[in-house]
Amino acid sequence: MEKPGYWRSGLAIAVTAAIAFTACTPNPASPSTGPSASAAAKRGAGETLNILYWQAPTILNAHQATGTKDADAARLVLEPLASWDKNGKAIANALASEVPTVDNGGVAKDFTSVTWKLRTGVKWSDGSPFSADDVVGTYTYQCDETTAASTFDVCEGVVNAFKPGDNVQYDLNENFRDPNKPFFKHVNFKGGGDAASAARAVFQTGDVDYGWNLQVEAAVLKPMAQGSSVGNLVTVYGSSIERLVVNFSNPDASLGDNRGEPSTKHPFFTDIHVRRALAMATNRQAVATQLYGDGLSGKATCNILTAPEPMNSQNTTSLDVCKFDVAAANKELDDDGWVKGSDGVRAKGGVKLKILYQTTVNSVRQSTQAILKKDWESVGFSVELKSVPSSTFFTNTSPDGANHFWADIEMYTNSGDPDPTSYYASGWSTGQIASKANNWNFGNYGRYSNKDFDSIVDQLRKETDASKRNQLAIQANDLLIKDVAVIPLINRTFATSGIAKSLKGVDPSPWDSEMYNIADWSK
């Protein structure tokens, strides 16, 4: 997944209330986009653009999305006020006429207010004018406590058909603000299948123009892309981190309505020594080398925030919890009184180290599970593997989903944006713990709570000095890693997608949805 910006995602909320979308951070990019990009010559000159997301969208409301698939599908019909360029700089490429700054008077000198100026002449798809009232309405909706229980109606006239978990059909918006765009009359946004079949569809059969998130073993993906006559592989590095989330609550079904609630305590992950041992028994380099091509689509990392570069901590490389060391993991558990039984599983006080480890159905993830399970069991954990369809995993409604987290360890990808405040706050602050009371819709799925971490996040919210913010971001990362609140595995490429060689204008940004500039695409 991918979890959008608050998962991938999760969803990072765009500069203000017009839309929330997945955000990632920049590193060197290696796009290969076929013919040189050029603006569409004429609105509606092209027929149907075929897009394949093997994780199918289930909702077209980015403010309630729990997966990148939903945020990206919504990005075709919703726009932010502004966005980020490839270097993480705010740009006015959408509904705002300019990005507010102190110099242009948009940001008050004391930083207590921001004034947005909107583009003139912008219309909704039904022809009605876009105004500040719409921005206020979106903000009010987004901040309403009842929003988590509401649904999003289809955008009549633009979304032709929507089958949740299957397919979205879009028609051209005749009232789009640029008279020469979009190029395509229709978009077929197909969901389903798996990453391998999506790769075949773009590189071998040529059935689709765009294949998203090709999380396929590097040994399979690389030759498929290199040997293709119809498609190119596009990769862009960002801050997408495949991670192991540790459950600090008790997922035992016998607890009934209290299952997974933050008021409960995990039977053994509340013990820092158990968490440390698990981290030291985690061979992230093996995963990176065997499954991600050691750089083709991901590289090993022990940081939960890897970009922007000034916020990428250099302090974790020397930490013992960042080094694969089975002997050290065994010693950690021995010294803490966890004793191996005849079955090889450690126990203490009648509690056994039995882990249910869940993630989505995906060949790379199942292979990752297998690699980690072997080493974890060698130090005395019992590990049961569980794989869940992405359409189920990335929801707040299913007991098998990441939000409920009725397991001990779960794995997915998430990322930040140029300002890491919301990324940190959503993922690990006490105020964002997911629970039944908030429909499991808050981003802290691990139910982690640490007053020192909360304090750092509060400081980030207030600090305006760039160098001090960088240091606070590093402090937050280091605290999470030392406390083993999360175990980072792989810094994945943000975009690992396949595009038809005939498709022009695709220019993925590590800070925005892959669909952010779809109006510029053409053939």
Nearest to 191 by CA among 391, 397, 363, 398: 391
Sorting pLDDT into bands at 50, 70 and 90, what band is 39? Answer: very low
**pLDDT value of position 41:** 66
pLDDT in tens, 143-163: 777 765 333 344 456 788 999
pLDDT, position 141:
81
Q: What is the mean pLDDT of residues 297-301?
A: 97
Band of the pLDDT at 25, cuts 50, 70, 90?
very low
Handedness of CA 317, 318, 322, 323 (dihedral sign): positive
Q: Is the pLDDT of residue 38 over 90?
A: no
With H, G, I as helix, E, B as strand and everything else as coil, classify residue 353.
coil
Q: Summarize pLDDT for 497-519 with one digit per residue, the tens.
A: 999 999 999 999 899 999 999 99
Per residue in 364-404, pLDDT (tens digit) is: 999 999 999 999 999 999 999 999 998 899 999 999 999 99
Which two tokens mark 274?
A: 């158990």
pLDDT at 148 (0 to 100): 54
| CA-based nearest residue to 85, from 130, 25, 18, 16 | 25
- Summarised one tens digit per residue, pLDDT across range 262-285 is 999 999 999 999 999 999 999 999
- Virtual CA dihedral for 384, 389, 393, 399, nearest 10 degrees? -70
Specify whether the CB–CB gap between 203 and 224 falls below 8 A.
Answer: yes
- Check residue 11 and give its pLDDT: 25
Task: Answer whether CATH 3.40.570.10 is correct for domain 240-493.
Answer: no
Q: Strand locations in 152-224, DSSP E?
A: 159-163, 167-171, 184-191, 210-211
Coil/strand/helix, residue 489: strand
Each domain of the chain, given as residue ranges in start order, spans 240-493
Task: Tell me the average pLDDT across 172-190.
Answer: 93
Mean pLDDT, rounded, for 454-476 = 97
